[in-house]
A and B are shown apart, each in its own frame.
Chain A
């Protein structure tokens, strides 16, 4: 620590400030959970009255998490963190890289964990013995010899000192990712009727159209229900078409979006049209065509000289699932009628040909489209955060010194050790090590 301290640095590096900002963030965050956010202006007038609503607007309360003062608190936290890291890191680096063989003997004599003993063997023999024991226990030693003494040193986990710094940096990485997302990203939405495609999506904020350099085709949308009538799955079969070629395809559901060209398409809603999508195929010629059919309408297919329609509908035991009565005529014979289930395929024969008919309800899928180039930065920050927390919380820098010096009738042994964290746990392993050394000295004497 330097004596002369810059006022700026000492303000921004103080942990008192951290505590203050953390508690402020906690308290102010509550406001936004109690006062509903991002509602239209009238909402606040109705709920809180004219004056309060005006005050809220002035203080950005309706969108407080992006208000200047909330962002300010966040920025303060970041500055606090950065200054603190810069101020403290050099010391941590010194502790990681320092030459512990230079540690003064006086310090070793006063260290938290220490044990003193003597041996009848010479300094060299004792030191060699102790070194063996340490190495066997996983403590790889370095040593320094003086005229009539040897200093052994070993350490474990010195890099764990970086953990707490990396943890704080990970918070900054997440912030950076969030910034990238808010600057270069956007959210948009689009509704695509089944079997059609579009290259225009609409910005969520202002509704402005955004033109894509590819088309999104919704081949099919499928809605399924559980027996109790709750929705089970919304599924859209999407295809990306670029320059007239199919370049990607995926069947998406909620929780499993599709990513293409930096955009991610999420299943977010659907719209039903009270229309059925019917595909007719002439089995003999293979000619096939899709029709949109409103119940009660007569639909002609001139190419085959046939017309058809839906003339009745009835519920089935499956919720949201119906049977439909189909009517077909081609002027060559009596008209045919038959029942068919939705989402099924069946066939019928007319004098002219045999046909296959398949039918499903017609929907438009509602997609949310997100561009967030920062999300990988955020995720990387998250992974680093968890790993560094584990290091910061559960690993410690443990150091052991063994000083062997000459006495008249043999050598004096001083074992000292310290750990930057988990002192109790370290004390146990220190005692265990000392016990092994004790036994060895007994064996050798």
Chain B
């Protein structure tokens, strides 16, 4: 067994879990939901071992580094973070329906990492600028934040789905949690994500300062992470001080995640900058 096999299995596992969660949602099949949780947990364990193995393999190749150094590895970590965040949410709110709106993100992350053109899956040695513990802290903090925002986006979709079908009493809609509860979880998730994104921007700035002597240079990636930060700050303000809830916050959760996606992919593919390592 090597790490890429385990990561391949994880991709399939999340596909299966996504199908099961969505099935459980549509057909209101409790059993499917239970199996989905089991498959998710199992896949999560496999993925964790896979990431650990990849780490170990890099040491065997003579240039060991934490598996968080390029687009492929960060996408895998992104999926990992989504799943652990979701599993905790499932445990805390005792609701499996959320899985249908969260686990597909983990699957898409893994699938994109594995199949998209131009993503290098090889374990490659770190160029000097990337040899920093701050970089590791940066990637971890950012991606925990991004994972929370992905889940918040999924919950936002769930909210809009439910609220626009309020009149109709279909089984599907009825099985979703109460609007108030979804709204509350969205809010808590955004708060959690905001804290980690703040930490992510800060650790990134410290890394930049130790590598280039500038903690902030308005490079497109930095700027986009700040834009994302502004969007979520505005969302929190709208809620705390103007009492926005419900649909508006759900839309902002989606808008915020689009900004995350752009920070992550758009900047690499459409704009140039310091972080271009990410596209390899």
Q: Tell me the A residues contacting B by CB distance below 8 Å.
A: 15-16, 18-19, 22-23, 25-26, 29-30, 32-34, 36-37, 65, 178, 187, 226-228, 230-234, 253-257, 264, 266-268, 368-370, 372, 375, 378-379, 382, 385-386, 389-390, 393, 424
CB A30 to nearest CB in B, in angstroms, measures: 7
Partner of A257, one of B62, B134, B210, B224: B210
Cβ 8 A contact of B131, one of A32, A228, A254: A254
Kindly count the residue-residue contacts between A and B in the assembled complex, taking CB atoms under 8 Å apart. 115
**Nearest 5 A-B pairs (CB), nearest first?**
A370-B213, A254-B128, A33-B220, A15-B241, A26-B230
C-alpha gap A228/B127 in the complex (Å): 12
A30 to B230, CA, bound (A): 12
Neighbour of B195 across the interface among A233, A368, A379, A390, CB < 8 A: A390
- Chain-A contact segment, one of B32-40, B44-52, B103-111, B201-209: B201-209
CB-CB under 8 A from B213, the residues of chain A are: 187, 257, 264, 266, 268, 368-370, 372
Alpha-carbon gap, A32 to B194, bound state (A): 24
In the complex, how many angstroms separate the beta carbon of B108 from the nearest chain A beta carbon?
25
Contact between A33 and B129 (Cβ–Cβ < 8 Å)?
Answer: no
**Smallest distance from the beta carbon of B243 to chain A beta carbons, Å?**
10
CB contact between B202 and one of A26, A257, A370, A386 (< 8 Å): that residue = A386
For window 171-223 of B, CB contacts with A under 8 Å fall at: 184, 191-192, 194-195, 198-199, 202, 205-207, 209-216, 218, 220, 223
Please, which residue of chain A has its CB at the minimum distance from the CB of B211? A255
Q: Are B128 and A234 in contact (CB under 8 A)?
A: yes
**A424 surroundings in chain B (CB, below 8 A):** 184
A178 touches B227 (CB 8 A): no
Residues on B facing A (Cβ under 8 Å): 62-63, 124-125, 127-129, 131-132, 134, 184, 191-192, 194-195, 198-199, 202, 205-207, 209-216, 218, 220, 223-224, 226-227, 230-231, 233-234, 237-238, 241-242, 259, 267, 271-272
Flag if A226 contacts B125 (CB, 8 Å): yes
Residue from the list B129, B194, B234 in contact with A254, Cβ < 8 A = B129
Contacts of A32 in B (CB 8 A): 218, 223
Complex-state Cα separation, A29 to B230, whole angstroms: 10
Set of chain A residues within 8 Å of B134, measured between Cβ atoms: 255
Q: Is the CB of A23 within 8 A of B230?
A: yes
Q: Which residues of B contact A65 (CB under 8 A)?
A: 218, 223
A-B contacts, 11 listed (Cβ < 8 Å): A19-B237, A22-B237, A26-B231, A26-B259, A29-B230, A230-B124, A232-B128, A233-B128, A253-B131, A254-B129, A268-B212
Question: In the docked arrangement, what's the CA distance between A256 and B207, Å?
Answer: 10
Q: Are B231 and A230 in contact (CB under 8 A)?
A: no
